[in-house]
Structure 1
């Protein structure tokens, strides 16, 4: 297992070793001790979540008040992490990860307050473990096609939930921030 930092403060890629043979594969998706060491703080899960999405679905960008460690258990998805924290030195940056059957079996860790979304190329089983139990308070998000983030999604008209289709832009959330006012 190799844990590397990305260009976004608080976003880590957990690269896993896959043991494969003619029966299939085995992968250790994370070790708490190694993740805690990479973060420089203890990390514990409070809740695990599993969603299934049909091909052509885009979920996000969701912002939550907890740390999250996610991966694609089956199918293929383009997962994107965006820094939507206005006080962050990496505000406005994003990272893309192709995860699952046609990508990697890596996991991605994101710190509280980062936003993430994913687009499904096939039916996808998306697993995430979070450091806090679900409550609707503190949850938010940014519209998937935000012009400040300028994500190069592989689709112009994805299948969205009503909630995700109505999320605000970064400029609406942070009208006085220099990055969004420069556009």
Structure 2
């Protein structure tokens, strides 16, 4: 397993080793001991979530605040997405910065997103199945979000605006400045 910390401290790209032969492939997607070792602390995941979306769907930019904040380990089971995280830690040197990384079933990459980050993705392939583990249970009263096209974040979603598909809820999200972070 190759683990690389991104420019956002505490956010890691994880590349599991894939063993391929004429039958297919095998990979270990999660190992608590290895995970704890590279993080230098224990994270206990308590909830798994999965979504299926078609090309152009944006599910973004979401976060949980306070005692219900969530760290996530995300990956793609089928298809390709552009995964985006935004640093919401006010005391961080990278507050308000983001990274974007392509996750796919082909590259097998995973992304660990610590608490206090907004997260979202856009589907780049015809369809995609997205899977993630959370270290805290979802709490509706603690959810927040930032509009995907906030000009201060300057996120390149890699698709033309007319191809993007958002829920009505995501269309109503505030900009970064007014997100109440």
Is 1:150 the counterpart of 2:154? The answer is yes
Q: State the match for 1:164 in structure 2.
A: 170
1:92 to partner: Cα distance: 1.8
Separation (CA, whole Å) in 2 of partners of 1:107 and 1:33: 17
Indicate conservation of the 8 Å contact 1:3/1:35, yes or no.
no
Change (3 A) 1:5 1:124: same
Q: Paired residue for 1:70?
A: 74
1:159 to partner: Cα distance? 0.2
Equivalent residue for 2:97?
93
Aligned residue pairs: how many?
174
Distance, in Å, in 2 between the alignment partners of 1:162 and 1:56 is: 15
Kindly state the Cα deviation for residue 88 of structure 1 after the two structures are TM-superposed.
Answer: 2.1
Structure 1 residue 144, shift from structure 2 partner: 0.6
Contiguous gaps of at least 5 residues in structure 1: 176-183
State the distance in 1 between where 2:27 and 2:99 align: 23
Q: Does 1:108 align with 2:102?
A: no
The secondary structure found in structure 2 opposite 1:137 is helix
Other structure's SS at 1:81 match: strand
Shift of 1:174: 6.0
Cα contact 1:66–1:130 (8 A) shared by 2: yes
Asked if structure 1 preserves the Cα contact closer than 8 Å seen for 2:2 and 2:16, the reply is: yes
- Supply the distance in 2 between the matched residues of 1:145 and 1:10 (Cα, whole angstroms): 25
TM-score, with normalisation over the residues of structure 2? 0.90
TM-score by length of 1: 0.89
Distance 1:22 1:165 in 2: 46
1:2 and 2:10 are equivalent in the alignment:
no
Please point out which of 141, 145, 159 is paired with 1:141. Answer: 145
1:171 CA displacement:
1.7
CA contact under 8 A between 1:58 and 1:120: conserved in structure 2? Answer: yes
Contact 1:84 1:170 in 2 (8 A): no
Flag as ranges the 4+ runs of structure 1 deviating above 3 A: none
Gapped regions of structure 2 (runs ≥ 5): none
- Give the whole-Å Cα distance in 2 for the aligned partners of 1:29 and 1:97: 18
